[in-house]
Amino acid sequence: MYDLISRYETTLNSKAEHFEEVLESIRFMYNCRHLSETGLFRKEDINDAVGRAMLVCQLNGIDSRHHFKIVYVFNEADSSVTTDWCMTRQGLSLVIMNAPAPNLAIAKWQWQMANMMDVKM
């Protein structure tokens, strides 16, 4: 009896994976730099707000991986690795809504978001 090993061409698979990566990069177009523009600077505050935003997703039956992705950034100058969050537009909005005690910049963003909402009860 022989074990049969089949080799498959990976060209199509890698093209499909590349296409998925491109689509994902379009969706995950926001990061911590965008949060700093709203007045959210401290890593601890960002991580807390992201955690609460992920909980909001979970409570609504939404897979948070569809809106949040952690990436590791290598700094060649000092050989350090830092983390950054990539987010969708909805993810960014949830993080801003869940930001800790707001400063003036965060409060303005939250107010703009509240004005854009069309809530029907």
| 88 belongs to a structural domain | yes
d(CA 66, CA 51): 14
Q: Which domain holds residue 60?
A: 27-103
| 91 belongs to a structural domain | yes
How much is the pLDDT for 6? 44
For the chain, 121 residues long, give each residue's pLDDT as a single digit of tens: 444 454 555 555 677 777 777 777 788 999 999 999 888 999 999 999 999 999 999 999 999 999 999 999 999 999 999 999 999 999 999 999 999 867 888 888 888 888 887 767 6
| 22 belongs to a structural domain | no
| 73 belongs to a structural domain | yes
| 43 belongs to a structural domain | yes
Dihedral sign of CA atoms 17, 18, 19, 22 in order: positive
Query: What's the total number of domains in the chain?
Result: 1
| 78 belongs to a structural domain | yes
d(CA 25, CA 70): 13
